[in-house]
Amino acid sequence: MTAAPIYGLMAEFETPTELVHAAKGAYDAGYRKMDTYTPYPLEEAAEAIGAHHNRVSLIVLVGAMLGMIGGYALEYWVSVINYPINVGGKPFHSWPAFIPVTFECAVLGASLAAVFGMLALNGLPQPYHPVFNSPNFVRASRDRFFLCIESQDPRFSVSDTRKLLESFNPDEITEVPY
Amino acid sequence: MSNINDSNSNLISPGEVKPASLELETVRKRLSEAKGPKFWRTLEELADQPAFGELLEREFPRHATEWVDPVSRRNFLKLAGASMALAGLAGCTRQPLEQILPYVRQPEQLIPGKPIFYATAMPFHGHVLPLVVETHEFRPTKVEGNPQHTASLGATDLFAQASILDLYDPDRSNYVTHLGEGRPWGECALALQSEVAALKATQGTGLRFLTGAMSSPTFGWQMKAVQRAFPQSKWHRWDPVNRDNARAGSKLAFGAYYDAVYKLEAAAVVVSLDADFLSGSWFPGFVRCARDFMRGRKLDKDRTMNRLYVAESSPSTTGAKADHRLVLRPSEVDSVARALAAKVGVAAQGGRLNEDQQKWVDAVAADLMDHKGKCVVVPGEFQSPAVHALAHAMNAALGNVGQTVAYIDPVEVDPVEHGQSIRELVDDMNAGKVRTLVILGGNPVFNAPVDLGFENALGKVALRVQLSIYKNETTDLMHWHVPENHYLEGWSDGHAYDGTASVIQPMIMPLYEGRNVHEFLAIFTPDESGTPQTGVSSHDLVQTYWKTQHPTADFEAWWRRTVHDGFVADSAAPARQVSAKLASLPAPAVANPNAIEVAFRPDPTIYDGSFINNAWLQETPKPLSRNTWDNVAMVSPAMAAVWKLNQVSDDNDHQSDAQRILEVEFQGRKVEVPYWPQPGHPDNAITLFLGYGQRKAGRVGSGTGYDAYKVRPSEAQYIGSGATITVSKDKYWDLAITQGHFSMDAREPVRVATLEDFIQNKLDGENFADRVRGEAPNDRPGKPESLYPDFRDKGFYQNYAWGMSIDLNSCVGCQACAVACQAENNISVVGKEQVQRGREMQWIRIDAYYEGSPANPNVYFQPVPCMQCENAPCEPVCPVGATIHSTEGLNDMVYNRCVGTRYCSNNCPYKVRRFNFFLFADYETPSLKLGRNPDVTVRSRGVMEKCTYCIQRITQARIASEKEERQIRDGEIKTACQQVCPTEAIIFGDINNKDSAVSKRKNSPREYQLLAELNTRPRTTYLAAVRNPNPKLESGSEKAEKA
Amino acid sequence: MATLGQIDVRPPKGVRPPIIGPGQTFGTVTDRIAGIVLTKHTPVFWILVVALCLAIFGMFNTAVGYLLFKGVGIWGINIPVGWGFAIVNFVWWIGIGHAGTLISAILLLFKQGWRTSINRFAEAMTIFAVMQAGLFPLLHTGRPWLAAYWLFPIPLTMGVWPQFRSPLIWDVFAVSTYFTVSFLFWGIGLIPDFANLRDSAKTLVVRRIYGMLAMGWRGSARHWNRYETAYMLLAGLATPLVLSVHSVVSLDFAVSVVPGWHTTFFPPYFVAGAIYSGFAMVLMLAIPFRYLYGMQDFITLRHLQNCGKLMLATGQIVAYSYAMEMFIGWYSNDRYELAMVNNRLHGPYSHYYYMLILCNILIPQSLWFNSIRSTPWRLFVVSVVVNTGMWLERFVIVVMSLQRDYIPTSWGMYWYTKWDMMIFVGTWGFFTLLFFIFIRVMPPISIFEMRSLLPQAKVKE
């Protein structure tokens, strides 16, 4: 039979334990292009599919550095180079007075980097995604745990993959159309 | 306290005063025994009265409604507008037609933006104060003293400073009225001409003139002409604050009227018998007296200093400067004078004295005898003729005549005793002898002696004409009212206190349809053809008179120089050789020691009431009580304690305080007054200040103060005995006070030492001011102790470094600097409610501190402008850099950058910054701009402001010097406060220049910084005050200080 | 299942109440909390409260309008007391904000599971409080229309810049950063719950709205993983930030030379006080909220007790600070510091000081007793008292120090006006209004974090 190409196969589980067990199984079976969908963060699941490393921290570090340097540079340039004024006999470059602003700028830079870095890496906002086509997927944000093996995976074949998933006896297996 | 006061003393009947005064003894003792803090904290503490309850109720006082309530708002808007009129402005900027001559080396022709200075003079209290007026585009904006004139030497007083505001006062009378209805001047002129014609027939029978004391020779000359034309006419005089006592005293001693001219510079010992020659211009020659006297206390060259003894009834700034002040009830001054006279070899039977007084008299007499020819005894204007006569006799006996005092013919034209003069007028009016009464200036209906019933008598006069600058109480009873010109609007002349003649030249065309007194009087002086002169100008009149005095050919040249210089060269009156004889000295009056005595005094800021509509003067704090917008009635702290009145309490740093009202009954007449417990005020006496409480005072003066004239009889013009005082149960008077706290609180804002200490320490060769009063826990850090860089390395303070030095020894607290600053810097007036909220705007304040026993404390004045700190605490806290340091060391305030966080004011330890909480400045009234100094920004709402060392003057001098490629000369720049100061207490200049006057001052061992321990490095520094007590008289408290 | 007005049952002695009620499942948790937002029936009390707040908000706007029209002179401030209600309220509100960040950030780092059910509205409280606080520094300036942008480093034609040595500029940066970071923290916390609301929304419109807010969140493991990292890092950043903010606020005073302001221990003193008042405010919000919405299963006695304990702890630090303030004043032997101490104890405003001691030190000692900590209404009363005390503390510091500083002749009094009061009360209205709108349209408790608290959320090996 010939059918329209699908995004992948989606297996729905009752408990996190079953999901993690299934994810591990699929990973051991050599599948890589797959993902789990859970109503709350589940570290085990991420580990099971080998996705527990990310570059958010690096981005935040960069953001912090930019903020810090930028803040101090602004203060120095303004107070010493661009428009130096004698304020109460204090030195033009009164560095202790410049620390608070520098600090705040660093924190600001880091925080912005953290949030927008995370969103960018996650490819959000993303108005459309195939997994939402799976009928019961609304419960992914409520009380159900999903494992989706994507058709892009070299080992993917509707029949074999379905067999494999059935071996983890999920509540239901659905084909996810594009 | 005992029985009488437990009845809450709300009603003290005359009978009860005696036991009350017994009570006084205990209170007095308590006050004198009071130990504890060297600086007495509060009268309250000493009299231990619980204040906590009061405090709670004062927390949110009934009158703390905010400023926006309609009444006060209206009031405020009025004030904002107060000063100028819309009418007749077209005329303001036109140059006077007569030729007037600019002052030394100022350009003859107008250069826009460049001020021109003209010499003139201000008539005041029977003499004139020589002035130089700054005009911008022919608009007078600021008056200064005439430095070439011996009566001023460049200084002025606060009345002269504020008189510029009167010129632009919108409430000035600006049209002729007949029975209150506006009429053209022509109609009035016709009416008067027909009257003159009618009078001609009767030789002027029933024609009377009433003026104040006049020193204008032209006026005298005109008056003679009038009397030639109308032999039956009479000229009466009335000034509420007059010199009757001095005149009578002079008659008593010399048999004729003479003016005493004091030369205090030559006096090593000065004894004042209730004379306030350091307090205000009602003492003739105040400006010069203050300077001469303080010249003897500079301690710059040598270490000698004159000594001032003051025997005083009502506390005055003169008493505040005394080395020994003897507190007397007004009537006791007479007996002290007699005792003193007896001791210095004048045949006078001494009055009875108590122990303290005797001790004082002995010591003073001894001191006088040691300084024959180098001392002087000054009688008070408000003291009895006997005191004056005795003083003259003493000066004669001590060989002071010719040395420290000279006698000249009166500078007043045709001097009379005003009390007598107005009495005659009233009698004649009642007798129906007066047909036409011409009142030139003044407001007799309001301020004539109350017992004469001037107002009723006026009704019997057929034609009543008034020439007056304001429509006042008198105007209501006039047939014709003609607006009088301001002295800056017309020509006149006059004599200074020492007789020097001045020509008064106008600065501006009359703003309104007014007449100058000479022009008006001309109507009554028919010319040759016998027709009255209505069109004649004051210029011609004055010039014609002087032609008669200088019939020489070079009159033109002479006139030009006289007008240009502002005075007739060496025209000072020659000293008369007179000898005082005391044949007919009246017997001493025996006053009942328990009767309450009343003293009437001119108000320190609005004088006799003629300045009541002057917002600057209204908002200038009275030197001793620091209240504004009202007059108070002074009583002694002990009396207040007896009456259970709350004292000046430090528990509530009241900007706004509800004072209980006293009802004062004197000779059957009553007035309700807010009491003020004045330290150093005699017991069983009360001081009332004249001038307030006018019914028709314009938008500024209306509703301010109480009317002391209501109880001022002709027989007791200054001193009366036998008043009864009733404390009202629940009536309060909301005062507006700018200083709520009069003790130094164990701090050392003012540093003081006796002459001995000073000499010793100076010999020790260390800066004595830093260690007066022994230990100084927080002391000035040395140069190396600063973490900050020295900005001199950064190109700052290289060329000029401005600095100021204020000599606390010289300051007499006369407030002239505050008003001068207000005039120079366009400082807004905020009104009574805002002052009560602590939002007064004057840039320089004169703090008053009381030290020692409240019964007779030492008083110190401390002018506080911006300190211009090199390490200014206000600057680093400003988020927008609106206050920063200039390369010349000024703490600049950038108005248009200021966003008004007020952090700078919070962080200013001297609290010299002022904030525009509302739009205090009036931007609408176009006329308001006329009087403003065009060189100074008018500040808008929400902006901080403060003293700038008159930066506009600095800039002008810098421009001038750079054009001539030279340094600014020392003394070339005078700040407004420095220029006006009669005692040279303030000196400003370049501290980089080691030879500048200010640098020399700052090298004095008396030099110290205010709050030096904060390392603010202020550019404004002070010279410590030095007292010169007589060892024989040193009181316990002073001894304790030494120990 | 908890219902409106349910009475708390105190567990037997020695047993700590759970942090989440028994018998909850993923589904029930979701439905109970999402239900508050998704229900069609707006509760009556909600309408009443919002109506009242709108009225107060109107009064607030009137007062502000008049202020801008006339100038700050309508307030009671003067010379010497240049700062009054405005700054007092600013410090008070900003302090209240701190507990929110503390709960969501610091307790997160310390892995305090119980924080979960209160962090969401605590963060909202922070943001709304900071909004109130932010109003005052602007309104209190003489020329706010200029201060609004001159305080930021914007290139202007005149070429002038802010003056970075001024603590007020530090304030600008600290407060704006604090607001931004709190907002981001709160915002990303909401994303998964928005996704949940999107998925359980009943009408298309609602689904669309929450859909947009959720930005297409689908709970993928990779997303969760980055999300967790970012969340933890933000918590790590917010922690020093929250400490810095009130330190900077305290420097507004400490940097000056005013006796009573010029002290080095202000930063810790202020931070402690901030957290103190913050927890008081959390309780003032949580106790009525859990009662009105029957959330006793999610905000249990355990939470209230813990907040009580934290108040007690921070309260002791505050008490110590008061003691030190006095001690240092005496120990310095500086005449001005001594005078300051004397003015606190005997000055014209000393009764404010004694009330402050009563509210912030004496009454809160009752928190030592379990019976107080675990009785919501008693805890509520104590919280109100503490927040009053904290306001008084700022009044004492600001007004009593300025009122009498160096030169005795310049001492003065401060009397507030009705406009001061209207603007102060107005901010309460504004704050409550924002808060009630928040609980109507956003999940006031973090749903996804609640889920992870359930026993069945753990992966069994």
Please count the structural domains in chain C.
Answer: 1
Q: Which of C153, C240, C126, C223 is nearest to A64 (CA)?
A: C240
What integer pLDDT is reported at residue B782 of this predicted model? 59
Beta strands B269-273 and B307-312: pairing type?
parallel
Q: Is B339 left (phi over 0), alpha (psi -120 to 50) or beta?
A: alpha
User: Which tokens sit at B979?
Assistant: 């220029």
Query: What value does the mean pLDDT take over residues B708-726?
Result: 90
Query: What value does the mean pLDDT take over residues C272-290?
Result: 90
Question: With bands split at pLDDT 50, 70 and 90, how would you rate the model's confidence at B1039?
Answer: very low
Structural domain for A68, as ranges = 56-121
B888-919 pLDDT, tens digit each: 989 999 999 999 999 999 999 999 999 999 99
User: Which tokens sit at B746?
Assistant: 């164990």
What integer pLDDT is reported at residue B59 of this predicted model? 39
User: Nearest residue of C to residue A23 by CA position?
Assistant: C221
What are the helix (H) ranges across B211-273? Answer: 217-229, 244-254
Query: What value does the mean pLDDT take over residues B157-161?
Result: 92
In angstroms, what CA-CA distances link A162 with A31, A151, A166, B280?
Answer: 13, 12, 6, 111
Kindly state whether residue A61 falls inside one of the protein's structural domains: yes
Distance CA A12, CA A172 (A): 5
Kindly state whether residue A48 falls inside one of the protein's structural domains: no
A140-151 pLDDT, tens digit each: 888 888 988 888
C44-66 pLDDT, tens digit each: 899 999 999 999 999 999 999 99
Question: With bands split at pLDDT 50, 70 and 90, how would you rate the model's confidence at B24?
Answer: low
Please give the radius of gyration of chain C, using alpha carbons only, rounded to the nearest integer: 23
Whether B332 contacts B316, CB under 8 Å: no
Whether the pLDDT of residue B479 is over 80: the answer is yes
Whether B82 contacts B922, CB under 8 Å: no
User: Nearest residue of B to residue A97 by CA position?
Assistant: B876
Q: Is B795 on the interface with A (CB under 8 A)?
A: no
What integer pLDDT is reported at residue B93 of this predicted model? 42
Whether B742 contacts B850, CB under 8 Å: yes
What is the residue-averaged pLDDT of chain B? 83
| ipTM metric | 0.91
CB-based contact C233 A94, cutoff 8 Å:
no
Kindly state whether residue A129 falls inside one of the protein's structural domains: no
Kindly state whether residue C44 falls inside one of the protein's structural domains: no
Query: What value does the mean pLDDT take over residues C422-431?
Result: 94
B118-133 pLDDT, tens digit each: 999 999 988 999 999 9
Whether the pLDDT of residue B764 is over 70: the answer is no
Beta strands B656-666 and B627-628: pairing type?
unpaired
Report the residue of B67, B844, B911, B1010 to disrupt the C interface, i.e. the one with the largest count of C CBs within 10 Å: B911
Tell whether A34 and A64 lie within a shared domain.
Answer: no
B747 vs C contacts (CB less than 8 Å): 335-336, 406-408
CA distance A157 to chain C (A): 22
Whether the pLDDT of residue B86 is over 50: the answer is no
Q: Is C249 on the interface with A (CB under 8 A)?
A: no
Q: What's the full length of chain A, in residues? A: 178
CB-based contact C413 B873, cutoff 8 Å:
no
CB-based contact A91 B885, cutoff 8 Å:
no
Whether the pLDDT of residue B457 is over 80: the answer is yes
B785 vs A contacts (CB less than 8 Å): none
Which of C70, C167, C335 lies nearest to residue B918, judging by beta carbons?
C70
Q: What are phi and psi of B719, to 5 degrees?
A: -135, 130
Tell whether A90 and A115 lie within a shared domain.
Answer: yes
What integer pLDDT is reported at residue B853 of this predicted model? 85
Whether the pLDDT of residue B87 is over 70: the answer is no
Q: Regarding predicted confidence, which is higher, C22 or B770?
A: C22
Complete DSSP assignment for B169-182: -TTS--S-EETTEE
Q: Dump strand ranges (E) for chain A.
A: 6-13, 34-37, 145-150, 172-177
Query: What value does the mean pLDDT take over residues C179-201?
Result: 90
Q: Is B875 on the interface with A (CB under 8 A)?
A: yes
CATH for A14: 3.30.70
Whether the pLDDT of residue B778 is over 60: the answer is no
Distance CA B332, CA B357 (A): 10
Structural domain for C112, as ranges = 78-414
Q: What's the full length of chain C, in residues? A: 461
Tell whether A35 and A60 lie within a shared domain.
Answer: no
Beta strands B944-945 and B986-990: pairing type?
unpaired
Q: Is B906 on the interface with C (CB under 8 A)?
A: yes
What are the helix (H) ranges across B735-812? Answer: 755-764
What is the residue-averaged pLDDT of chain A? 88
Q: Work out the burial of residue B125: count CB atoms within 10 Å of its CB; fewer than 13 is exposed, 13-18 middle, 19 or more buried.
A: buried
B425-437 pLDDT, tens digit each: 999 999 989 999 9
Q: Is C195 on the interface with A (CB under 8 A)?
A: yes
Query: What value does the mean pLDDT take over residues B38-42?
Result: 39
CA distance C183 to chain A (A): 10
Which of B794, B796, B875 lies nearest to residue A88, judging by beta carbons?
B875
Distance CA A132, CA B747 (A): 79
Please count the structural domains in chain A.
Answer: 2
Whether the pLDDT of residue B776 is over 60: the answer is no
Q: Regarding predicted confidence, which is higher, B247 or B795?
A: B247
User: Which tokens sit at A153?
Assistant: 């995976």
Tell me which amino acid residue C144 is: P
B869 vs A contacts (CB less than 8 Å): 88
Kindly state whether residue A136 falls inside one of the protein's structural domains: no
Q: Is C239 on the interface with A (CB under 8 A)?
A: no
Query: What value does the mean pLDDT take over residues B77-85?
Result: 42
Buried b (16+ CB within 10 A) or exposed e, B764-798: eeebbbbbbbeebeeebeeeeeeeebebeeeebbe
Q: Which of B786, B981, B888 is nearest to B154 (CA)?
A: B981
Query: What value does the mean pLDDT take over residues C117-137?
Result: 90
Kindly state whether residue A100 falls inside one of the protein's structural domains: yes
What integer pLDDT is reported at residue B406 of this predicted model? 92
Kindly state whether residue C410 falls inside one of the protein's structural domains: yes
What integer pLDDT is reported at residue B779 of this predicted model? 54
CA distance A35 to chain B (A): 53
Question: With bands split at pLDDT 50, 70 and 90, how would you rate the model's confidence at B97?
Answer: low
In angstroms, what CA-CA distances link B571 with B219, B401, B496, B505, B882?
Answer: 18, 21, 10, 18, 53
In the stretch 611-670 of chain B, residues with CB closer than 8 A to chain C read 651-655
Question: With bands split at pLDDT 50, 70 and 90, how would you rate the model's confidence at B211?
Answer: very high
Kindly state whether residue C23 falls inside one of the protein's structural domains: no
Distance CA B622, CA B604 (A): 6
- Give B102's strand partners: B118
B876 vs A contacts (CB less than 8 Å): 87-88, 90, 97
CB-based contact B907 C258, cutoff 8 Å:
yes
In the stretch 159-188 of chain C, residues with CB closer than 8 A to chain A read 159-165, 167, 169-170, 173-174, 177, 180-181, 184-185, 187-188
A60 vs C contacts (CB less than 8 Å): 230, 233, 237
Whether the pLDDT of residue A98 is over 90: the answer is yes
Whether B673 contacts B688, CB under 8 Å: yes
What integer pLDDT is reported at residue C203 of this predicted model? 87
Question: For residues B378, B379, B381 and B385, what is the CA-based torsion angle, rounded to 10 degrees?
Answer: -150
Cα angle: C9, vertex C15, C16; to 5 degrees: 75
Kindly state whether residue A49 falls inside one of the protein's structural domains: no
Count of CB pairs separated by less than 8 Å, B with C: 202
Q: Which residue has the tokens 């410049």?
A: A98
Q: Dump strand ranges (E) for B452-602.
A: 463-468, 480-483, 492-495, 501-504, 596-602
Question: With bands split at pLDDT 50, 70 and 90, how would you rate the model's confidence at B40?
Answer: very low
CB contact set of B509 (below 8 Å; sequence gap of 6+): B91, B92, B94, B95, B96, B97, B489
A131 vs C contacts (CB less than 8 Å): 218
What integer pLDDT is reported at residue C1 of this predicted model? 38
Please give the radius of gyration of chain A, using alpha carbons only, rounded to the nearest integer: 25
Kindly state whether residue C246 falls inside one of the protein's structural domains: yes
Kindly state whether residue A67 falls inside one of the protein's structural domains: yes
Which of A36, A104, A111 lies nearest to residue C221, judging by beta carbons?
A36
Query: What value does the mean pLDDT take over residues B242-250?
Result: 91
DSSP three-state, residue B307: strand
C301-332 vs C335-346: helix axis angle to the nearest 10? 130
Cα angle: B962, vertex B968, B972; to 5 degrees: 125
Beta strands B752-754 and B1025-1027: pairing type?
parallel
Tell whether A68 and A108 lie within a shared domain.
Answer: yes
